[in-house]
Amino acid sequence: MLKDKVVIITGGSSGIGKALAFELGKESCKLIITGRNIDKLEQTSHELSMQGIENHYLVADSSLEYDNKRIVAEAIYHYGKIDILINNAGITMRSMFEDADIDATIRKVMDINFFGTVYLTQAALPYIKKAKGTIVGISSIAGYRGLPVRSGYSASKFAVNGFLEALRTELLHTGVNVLTACPGFTSSNIRFAAIDAHGQVSQETVRDEEKMMSSEECAMHIVKAINKRKRSIILTNEGKLTVWLNKLFPRLVDKLVYTTLAKEKNSPLKQISEIH
């Protein structure tokens, strides 16, 4: 069903985005991958080409409206259409809200995660409607349940979920499918690229990556959902349980989430717990 579909993947040079590129490549899709790191993009593009996957790469910053319009123009220039748009580019943060420089952290996260999705979706929408295609937002369990020490990230994903739900309803009679994909904790590069209270990249993860769902498995589930034109998908058993419990027992989940995240390496929540 996906053969020869033209797909845009933002943040396509690493993590879930890269895994999606290879998974969709197996389906004979034609790809436009974007990212901010030209070295990673060139390497990923080369790896895709070595497997016979048709692709083009474009250095672009998802937080910039002009760059998002340029992504769409590039796709139309090379392929003349857009069938599937995957808004995957994103960053996270890790700091207590009271310590955060709002412009350097929360605004930056919102610009990439939320406004990046908004800018690119609007630019691509006329072509997606023409193709009766699919818009995908890679959101998070943090879009259903706010996570402490990740307030800006949670806010951005709640915003993405609300935006996609509204858009899905607007497009109800157009033949366009809107998929909200919400991974739980997945082994990807996002924690290595997390920014601290001052907007500086941490370059280390605070969780055991080996115990998480792999990016490749995550991508496989998302591509299946695209094929079936699902409206939403929640990944990992932990993620599904968190969303379900949060609806029924929110006060209990407050405590469970606090306790779980306080166990992370150098968690400020742990320091508070020890004081009390």
Rounded Cα–Cα distance for residues 117 and 137 (Å): 7
Backbone angles phi, psi at 192, to 5 degrees: -65, -25
**Residue 258 within any structural domain of the chain:** no
Taking the CA atoms of 206, 99, 37 and 75 in sequence, report the sign of the dihedral they define.
positive
The CATH number covering residue 204 comes to 3.40.50.720
Radius of gyration of the chain (CA): 18
Has residue 249 been placed in a domain? no
60/69 Cα distance (integer angstroms): 10
**Interior CA angle at 88 toward 91 and 77, to 5°?**
125
HSE on the CB side for 202, CA within 13 Å?
21
Tell me whether residue 54 is exposed, middle or buried, using C-beta atoms within 10 angstroms of its C-beta: 0 to 12, 13 to 18, 19 or more. middle
Catalytic residues: 153
Number of domains in the chain: 1
62 CB-near residues (< 8 Å, 6+ apart): 10, 11, 34, 68, 89, 112, 116, 117, 119, 120
For residue 264, tell me if it sits in a domain.
no
Domain interval for residue 128: 6-244
Domain membership flag for residue 274: no
252 is a domain residue: no
Q: What is the SS3 assignment for 137?
A: strand
**Residue ranges of the chain with per-residue pLDDT less than 50:** 275-276
Asked, for residue 74, whether it belongs to a domain, the answer is yes
Question: Is 35:41 a contact under the CB 8 Å cutoff?
Answer: yes
pLDDT value for 132: 98
Provide the pLDDT for residue 189.
64
Q: What is the DSSP-derived secondary structure letter of residue 212?
A: S
Cα 31-33-37 angle, rounded to 5 deg: 160
Q: Is 270 inside any structural domain? A: no
Could you tell me the pTM of the whole model?
Answer: 0.92
Q: Is residue 224 part of a domain?
A: yes
Strands 30-35 and 55-59: parallel
Cβ atoms of 143 and 234 closer than 8 Å: no
